[in-house]
């Protein structure tokens, strides 16, 4: 095989973000959640030493200079055992640990949550590890959801016995479903339909379907001159290996910092290429299973779109469950803001850290064993 690292990456498609001099302050809240869930039913292949998706849950605080702040997602509620899915999780022996609700974290850092400090909560989608406990916020705080949400997911439990959401989240609260065609006015950012949330180019919601009906992502402008952005990926992807590497962002010849604990920096990129199921430096490590997506073809299309954003050096792409960035040495969590991420070179520092999940696969390959196996999941 020729050394494909020597092939220059292709130029990613233009994102065409409208010009603006307006920004928002963005903070990433590590919501005290830790999940451990079998990865095989979600992503394939299964890499040696990586049987579980071990994941935090991130929430984004978005502060506009002239509006009340909003939240993007709420992670897992502390009393998650009240959810209708609880018996299923016990049966499957999923590991779910939560120390605090997001509302509690915010109160402890000075926010008047009960007094209506927050304008809105944006749910990326309806899954339990993102909706949190909206009832811990007053009814003046609205819920914002993606297209098709109401028809697919309402009413909540117990009004509808097979619902996964609780009716208590909606009582007395405005529920706003975004119509991208009507409210977005035909705007596209990257390949996605977009809605200018504050009307000033500082924060966009993006229509990113596939994982679920109504899944949406966020794009916040963090600085101007240069323009920099934070992409809030929700569950459009669950692991960096779903949208990295790509033809726009191949595995580097050298990885610095090294994602492998037993390899000092710079770590040769070819070590990771050799455990890749396709042996390619320009194709993602994982494929989403059909059973894990509402519509796999659409989910794949959305994930490709994430790769286009990720290949732009002025975009910091963060998904909700990126375990690779849970490191204070590399990343500033709330209450520190993230607006200076570009100046601190955060994206380049963390971009390839997810490859550390394949440490055992590299070891197995070096010892003549199997780096991965394909499961029987559809």
pLDDT in tens, 21-50: 999 999 999 999 999 999 999 999 999 999
- Domain boundaries of the chain, sorted by first residue: 4-373
| Residue 361 confidence (pLDDT) above 90 | yes
Q: What percent of the chain has pLDDT over 70?
A: 98
Nearest Cα neighbor of 113 from 124, 127, 101, 97 is 101
Report the chain's terminal Cα–Cα distance, integer Å. 30
Confidence grade of residue 328 (pLDDT, cut at 50, 70, 90): low
Q: What is the pLDDT of residues 134-185, one digit of tens each?
A: 999 999 999 999 999 999 999 999 999 999 999 999 999 999 999 999 999 9
Q: Is 277 helix (H, G, I), strand (E, B) or coil?
A: coil
If you average pLDDT over every residue of the chain, what do you get?
Answer: 95
What 3-state class would DSSP assign to 171? coil
Residue with tokens 């849950």: 57
| Structure-token match 């809105």, residue found | 120
Confidence grade of residue 225 (pLDDT, cut at 50, 70, 90) = very high
Check residue 378 and give its pLDDT.
77
pLDDT at 327: 73
- Residue 320 and residue 245: Cα distance in Å, rounded? 19
pLDDT, position 51: 96
State the Rg of the chain over Cα: 20
Residue 118 and residue 140: Cα distance in Å, rounded? 8
Q: Judge whether 252 and 268 are in contact, CB under 8 Å.
A: no
State pTM to two decimals. 0.96
- Taking the C-alpha atoms of residue 40 and residue 63, their distance in angstroms, rounded to an integer, is 38
Residue 207 pLDDT:
98
Element (H, E) at 151: helix 149-153
Task: Calculate the alpha carbon distances from 78 to 101, 129, 138, 201, 211 in Å.
Answer: 5, 11, 18, 35, 24
Q: Which of 192, 293, 191, 281 is nearest to 237 (CA)?
A: 293
What is the token pair recorded at 262? 């037993």
Give 107-119 pLDDT, tens digit per residue. 999 999 999 999 9
State yes or no: pLDDT of 212 exceeds 50: yes
Whole-angstrom distance, CA of residue 320 vs CA of residue 216: 12
What percent of the chain is predicted at pLDDT more than 90? 94
pLDDT at 3 over 60: no
Q: What is the mean pLDDT of residues 272-277?
A: 95
CATH superfamily of 4-373: Ribonuclease Z/Hydroxyacylglutathione hydrolase-like (3.60.15.10)
C-alpha–C-alpha distance, residues 167 and 178, integer Å: 20
Residue showing tokens 């990257």: 190
pLDDT for 2 = 41
**Which pLDDT value is given to residue 326?**
87
Q: Which positions ≥6 away from 50 have C-beta within 8 Å?
A: 39, 357, 358, 360, 361
Q: What is the mean pLDDT of residues 280-285?
A: 95
CA distance 256 to 267: 7
pLDDT > 80? residue 329: no
**How far is Cα 303 from Cα 244, in angstroms, rounded to an integer?**
10
Q: Residue 100: what pLDDT?
A: 97
In the predicted model, is pLDDT for residue 1 greater than 50? no
| CB contact at 8 A, 9 and 249 | yes
Span of 3-7, 36-40, 215-219, 330-334 with lowest mean pLDDT: 3-7
Angle among Cα 284, 301, 317 to the nearest 5 degrees reads 60
The closest of 69, 79, 142, 72 to 112, measured between CA atoms, is 69
The residue ranking higher by pLDDT, 310 or 92, is: 310
């Amino acid at each position: 095989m020729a050394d494909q690292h020597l092939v220059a990456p292709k130029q990613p498609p233009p994102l065409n973000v409208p010009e603006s001099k307006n920004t928002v302050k963005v903070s990433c809240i590590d919501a005290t959640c830790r999940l451990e869930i079998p990865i095989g039913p979600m992503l394939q292949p299964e890499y040696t030493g990586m049987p579980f998706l071990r994941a935090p849950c991130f929430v984004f605080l978005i502060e506009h200079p002239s509006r009340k702040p909003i939240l993007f997602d709420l992670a897992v509620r502390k009393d998650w055992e009240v959810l209708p899915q609880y018996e299923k999780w016990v049966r499957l022996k999923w590991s779910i640990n939560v120390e605090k609700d997001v509302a509690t974290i915010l109160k402890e850092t000075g926010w008047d949550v009960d007094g209506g400090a927050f304008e809105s909560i944006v749910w990326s989608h309806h899954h339990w590890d993102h909706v949190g406990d909206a009832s811990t916020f007053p009814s003046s705080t609205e819920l914002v959801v993606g297209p098709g949400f109401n028809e697919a997911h309402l009413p909540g439990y117990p009004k509808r016995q097979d619902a996964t959401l609780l009716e208590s989240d909606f009582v007395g609260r405005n529920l706003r479903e975004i119509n991208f065609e009507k409210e977005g006015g035909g705007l596209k950012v990257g390949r996605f339909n977009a809605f200018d949330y504050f009307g000033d180019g500082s924060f966009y919601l993006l229509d990113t379907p596939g994982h679920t009906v109504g899944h949406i992502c966020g794009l916040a402008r963090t600085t101007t001159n240069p323009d920099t952005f934070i992409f809030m990926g929700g569950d459009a992807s669950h692991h960096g290996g779903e949208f990295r590497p790509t033809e726009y962002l191949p595995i580097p010849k050298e990885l610095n910092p090294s994602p492998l604990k037993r390899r000092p920096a710079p770590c040769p990129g070819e070590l990771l290429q050799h455990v890749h199921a396709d042996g390619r430096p320009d194709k993602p490590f994982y494929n989403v299973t059909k059973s894990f997506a509402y519509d796999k073809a659409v989910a794949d299309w959305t994930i490709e779109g994430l790769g286009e954003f990720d290949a732009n050096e002025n975009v910091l792409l963060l998904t909700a469950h990126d375990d690779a960035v849970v490191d204070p040495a590399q990343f500033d969590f709330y209450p520190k803001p993230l607006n200076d991420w570009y100046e601190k070179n955060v994206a380049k520092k963390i971009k390839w850290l997810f490859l550390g999940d394949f440490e055992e696969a590299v070891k197995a390959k070096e010892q003549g064993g199997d780096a991965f196996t394909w499961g029987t999941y559809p």
